[in-house]
Amino acid sequence: MTRTAIAKADSYDMDVVRKAIWKIADNTAFPSVSGKTVLVKPNILSDSYPEKAITTHPSVVMAVIELIKEKGAARILVGDSPGMQAGRFRPERSGIARVAAETGAELIDFRDDTRIHEIRGIRIPMTTAIDDADIVISVAKFKTHQLMSATGAVKNMFGLVPGLQKSPLHLKARTPETFSALLIGIFREAHVDYAFMDAIEGMEGSGPTNGQPRHIGLLIGGENAFAVDKAEAAIMGYSSVPLLDKAEAMMPGITETEYPLLRPEDLVISGFKRIPEGRKGTMRTLFIPNLLSRIGIQTDGRPYPTFMHDRCRHCMKCVSICPAKALRMKGNKVHIRRSRCIRCYCCHEMCPFDAIRIK
């Protein structure tokens, strides 16, 4: 059975973070990295300042890289590709570019070189960094997610798909269930060997971008990313989340794990603002509901985005990212065509002004 370690870390002080990261590695099956090329994949949804709790904190990324270096890695790659990436991406505001420079890790752009993978009959471009790497480590962020309830170490690997090439995949997988299956396929293709999760400052409410930072004071890690995500969901207080439900249906027992340090059931956050579980959508695969979804008739009760026009700054990111082309700017206001909307919530995720509500 795999092991998942949860350690206390009350601040991003480097000594505190280093100690916790090493403790987690020592109490789990951390892979042998000596002489190998290691890809470190943090969550850099957008190049935001660390205090917003949108990205993996640079102190956590630094501690992970230092651990890998001390264990003898020959080469360390660091990268991600935000959904709205334009031009070359350097995560300056998040502090991760600085970490790469200070540690000697190679900051790579996932758009530079890609290879097509066929996953569940869908052709998906993914960075060739996963081909170059002997070891792949997901370094996720503890956050809620409007479509998937929580985003963690498994979904973090969706960032291997470069930039705007992520958005059309929502048209291929329109429900939380089918999108979960696609995410699991991408994760397995990436041969992830280990996962850490930054849960020192997490995000509650309308994640993964427009929620509120929440102090959690934990770091999580283990060789089984599904088990790491299960610990996250339990600490948030969820009884289930779509991705883990689908993973258990596809691979029974995949989330089973031992906890050598702290146990998640003892760490459940009182009053944590979750995505209401009734909004996750029904986990149905029947022909008729899927057919209705494809022609714009939704049957699972998930809400449509609502646009707060007084907050909108007309940046057009929501219009650009929408895979179904359901949004348009008219009279300085964003209008939604519900017959086209697939409720993937990409618009909400990309809005930098918190001008979209899911309610």
Q: How is the chain split into domains, by residue range?
A: 2-277, 303-358
Q: Model confidence over 113-166: pLDDT tens digits?
A: 999 999 999 999 999 999 999 999 999 999 999 999 999 999 999 999 998 889
Give the residue from 359, 354, 357 showing the smallest Cα distance to 46. Answer: 354
pLDDT, position 292 = 52
Q: Over 70: is that where the pLDDT of 183 sits?
A: yes
Quickly state the pLDDT bin for 89 (edges 50, 70, 90): confident
Q: Over 60: is that where the pLDDT of 289 sits?
A: no
Quickly state the pLDDT bin for 280 (edges 50, 70, 90): very low
pLDDT, position 278 = 53
- Identify the CATH assignment for 2-277 out of 3.40.50.11440, 3.40.250.10, 3.30.420.60, 3.90.850.10: 3.40.50.11440
Is the pTM higher than 0.85?
yes
Alpha-carbon distance 181 to 249, whole Å?
Answer: 10
What mean pLDDT comes out for the span 41-67? Answer: 97
Domain 303-358 has CATH 3.20.20.70: no
Q: Model confidence over 344-358: pLDDT tens digits?
A: 999 999 899 999 998
pLDDT, position 83 = 76
pLDDT, position 283 = 38
Question: What residues form DSSP beta bridges with 257?
Answer: 2
What does pLDDT average to over the chain?
92
Residue 45 contacts by C-beta under 8 Å, 6 or more apart in sequence? Answer: 54, 55, 82, 83, 208, 209, 349
Quickly state the pLDDT bin for 82 (edges 50, 70, 90): confident
